[in-house]
C-alpha cells in the first residue's frame, strides 16, 4: 500500500515549472510529413492530458480523506501543466506552420460522454478507467512519441512528465487495491442503493461513452501508435498490464473486471470470436486489439501472487524499457537502485509504497 504521507510530500516537492525549461533550443530538422504528424500528436496530447486532469478532479471530489483530496488536487495541477507543455511542444515543432491544428474530432466527441459516465458511475469503476488510460498513455503513447520525435526539447519535457506520471500510476494501483478490498466493499453495502433513476442515468451515460470510445481510441491511441510504435510492442505491453491487473483475485471479483474478462474470454473463443468479435468489441467500446489475451497462464498465476506494489513496480519499469536515458532501470528489481537521481524516483518504493 502507498504511504500517503510520503506520497503527499512528493506531490509537494516534485513540482516543476514549464518556464524553467530552455524553449529557445532549435528543433531537429523534420520533413513536412514528420512535422505535421508531430504537431498533431502533441496537440492531441494536450487534450488527453486535460481529460486526465478532469478525471483526477472527479477523484478529488470523491476523496474520503483530506490527504487523498490534496494528492488528487496536485494531480490535477500536474495534468494541466502537462497539457500546457504539450501545447508548447506543438508550437515548438510547428516551424513551417503548414496547417492549422485542432484537437481530434473523435477526442472532442468522446470527452463529454466520458466525463458524464465517470461522474455517475461508482468511484471503483471511475478509477478503473483512469488506471487503464494512464497505462495506455504512459507505457505506450508518450514514450513512443518521445522516441519518434527524438529531439532534446521533447526529451527534457517528457522526463519531467514521466516523473509526475510515476506518482499517478502508483496511486492508480493503490486505489485499485483499496476499492477491491473487503473493507471498502462492506462500506458500499452499508450505503443506500442508488435509485432506479440514478441507475438509468448512469447506464445512459455509460452507453454513450461506449459508443464513442472505440473511434476515440482508434484516432487518438491506435492510429498514432501505428506510426510511433509500428511493431506494436509497447501497445501490447500496456494492454497486458491492464489484463494482469484484473487477474488479481480481489480485483477479478469486481463486476467490471468480471464483465471485461468475460467478454475477452468470448472474444478469444474459436468460432464465437470469429463470428461476433466486432460485436463484442463494440459492446465494450474497445478495439479488438484490447480483447486479445496477451499473457500466459504462468504470467497470470504470478500476477495473482504478487502484491499490488510489485505490479505497480513492473508497470513503472515497463515505461522505461528501451528509453533514451542511460540511467533508467529496466527491471522492477533494479528500480530505485540506479545511480541516476531521475531513475531512483521511478519505482513505487520511492513513491511512498510501503514494503516495496
Residue 355 is assigned to a structural domain of this protein: no
The reported pLDDT for the residue numbered 95 is 97
Q: Which residue has the higher pLDDT, 179 or 337?
A: 179
Tens of pLDDT, residue by residue over 258-276, are 888 898 889 889 888 888 8
Angstrom distance (rounded) from CA 132 to CA 347: 19
pLDDT at residue 282 above 80? no
Domain tally for the chain?
1
Reduced to 3 states, what is the DSSP secondary structure of residue 2? strand
The reported pLDDT for the residue numbered 337 is 33
Residue 328 is assigned to a structural domain of this protein: yes
The reported pLDDT for the residue numbered 69 is 98
Instruction: Supply 274's cell numbers.
Output: 470469429
The closest of 316, 335, 339 to 139, measured between CA atoms, is: 316
Q: Which residue has the higher pLDDT, 257 or 47?
A: 47
Q: Work out the pLDDT band at 26, boundaries 50, 70, 90.
A: very high
Q: Cell numbers 524499457 correspond to what residue?
A: 321
Q: Work out the pLDDT band at 352, boundaries 50, 70, 90.
A: low
Rg (CA), the chain: 20
pLDDT at residue 348 above 80? no
Most confident of 89-93, 112-116, 223-227: 89-93
Angstrom distance (rounded) from CA 221 to CA 213: 11
Percent of the chain with pLDDT over 90: 58
* Cβ atoms 313, 135 nearer than 8 A: no
Residue 286 is assigned to a structural domain of this protein: yes
**Beta bridge partner(s), residue 330:** none
Residue 151 is assigned to a structural domain of this protein: yes
Q: Cell numbers 528489481 correspond to what residue?
A: 333
Give, in degrees to the nearest 5, the angle at Cα 171 between 88 and 339.
70
Looking at residues 96-124, what average pLDDT do you find? 94
Give, in degrees to the nearest 5, the angle at Cα 284 between 279 and 289.
80
Looking at residues 103-127, what average pLDDT do you find? 92
Q: Work out the pLDDT band at 35, boundaries 50, 70, 90.
A: very high
CA distances from 200 to 137, 145, 207, 338 (A): 31, 40, 10, 51
Looking at residues 101-125, what average pLDDT do you find? 93
Domain that residue 203 falls in: 4-350
Tens of pLDDT, residue by residue over 63-93, are 999 999 999 999 999 999 999 999 999 999 9
Residue 291 is assigned to a structural domain of this protein: yes
Residue 11 is assigned to a structural domain of this protein: yes
pLDDT at residue 227 above 90? yes
The reported pLDDT for the residue numbered 228 is 93
CATH number at residue 276: 1.10.620
CA torsion 210-259-53-106 (nearest 10°) is -20
* Cβ atoms 58, 117 nearer than 8 A: no
Burial of 309: CB neighbours in 10 Å, binned 0-12, 13-18, 19+: buried
Residue 308 is assigned to a structural domain of this protein: yes
The reported pLDDT for the residue numbered 331 is 33
Neighbours of 172 (CB within 10 A): 24
Residue 93 is assigned to a structural domain of this protein: yes
Tens of pLDDT, residue by residue over 295-313, are 899 999 999 999 999 999 9
The pTM of this model reads 0.86
The reported pLDDT for the residue numbered 25 is 93
Cα atoms in the 13 Å half-sphere on the side-chain side of 121 = 22
* Cβ atoms 120, 200 nearer than 8 A: no
Angstrom distance (rounded) from CA 88 to CA 94: 10
Q: Is the dihedral of CA 305, 308, 309, 313 positive or negative?
A: positive
Specify whether the backbone of 349 is left (phi greater than 0), alpha (psi in -120 to 50) or beta. alpha
Q: Cell numbers 492549422 correspond to what residue?
A: 100
The rounded mean pLDDT for the chain is 87
Angstrom distance (rounded) from CA 277 to CA 271: 9
Going by the DSSP 8-state scheme, the letter that residue 246 receives in this structure is T
pLDDT at residue 218 above 90? no
Amino acid at each position: 500500500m502507498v504511504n500517503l504521507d510520503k506520497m503527499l510530500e512528493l506531490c509537494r516537492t516534485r513540482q516543476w515549472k514549464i518556464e524553467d525549461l530552455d524553449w529557445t533550443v532549435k528543433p531537429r530538422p523534420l520533413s513536412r510529413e514528420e512535422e505535421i504528424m508531430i504537431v498533431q500528436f502533441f496537440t492531441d496530447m494536450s487534450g488527453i492530458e486535460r481529460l486526465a486532469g478532469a478525471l483526477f478532479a472527479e477523484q478529488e471530489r470523491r476523496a474520503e480523506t483530506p490527504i487523498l483530496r490534496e494528492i488528487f488536487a496536485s494531480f490535477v495541477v500536474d495534468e494541466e501543466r502537462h497539457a500546457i507543455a504539450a501545447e508548447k511542444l506543438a508550437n515548438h515543432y510547428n516551424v513551417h506552420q503548414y496547417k492549422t491544428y485542432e484537437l481530434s474530432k473523435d477526442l472532442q466527441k468522446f470527452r463529454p460522454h466520458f466525463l458524464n459516465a465517470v461522474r455517475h458511475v461508482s468511484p471503483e469503476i471511475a478509477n478503473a478507467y483512469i488506471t487503464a488510460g494512464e497505462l495506455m498513455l504512459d507505457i505506450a503513447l508518450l514514450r513512443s512519441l518521445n522516441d519518434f520525435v527524438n529531439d532534446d526539447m521533447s526529451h527534457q519535457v517528457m522526463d519531467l512528465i514521466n516523473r509526475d506520471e510515476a506518482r499517478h500510476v502508483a496511486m492508480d494501483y493503490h486505489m485499485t487495491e483499496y476499492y477491491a478490498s473487503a473493507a471498502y466493499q462492506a462500506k458500499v453495502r452499508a450505503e443506500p442503493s442508488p435509485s432506479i433513476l440514478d441507475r438509468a442515468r448512469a447506464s445512459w451515460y455509460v452507453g454513450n461513452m461506449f459508443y464513442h470510445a472505440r473511434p476515440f481510441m482508434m484516432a487518438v491511441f491506435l492510429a498514432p501508435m501505428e506510426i510511433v510504435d509500428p511493431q506494436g510492442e509497447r501497445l501490447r505491453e500496456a494492454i497486458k498490464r491492464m489484463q494482469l491487473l484484473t487477474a488479481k483475485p480481489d480485483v477479478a471479483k469486481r463486476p467490471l473486471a468480471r464483465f471485461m474478462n468475460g467478454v475477452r474470454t468470448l472474444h478469444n473463443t474459436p468460432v464465437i470470436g470469429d463470428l461476433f468479435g466486432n460485436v463484442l468489441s463494440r459492446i465494450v467500446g474497445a478495439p479488438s486489439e484490447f480483447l486479445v489475451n496477451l499473457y500466459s497462464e504462468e504470467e497470470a498465476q504470478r500476477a495473482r501472487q504478487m502484491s499490488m506494489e510489485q505490479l505497480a513496480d513492473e508497470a513503472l519499469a515497463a515505461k522505461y524499457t528501451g528509453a533514451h536515458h542511460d540511467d533508467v532501470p529496466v527491471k522492477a528489481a533494479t528500480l530505485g537502485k540506479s545511480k541516476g537521481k531521475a531513475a531512483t524516483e521511478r519505482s513505487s518504493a520511492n513513491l511512498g509504497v510501503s514494503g516495496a
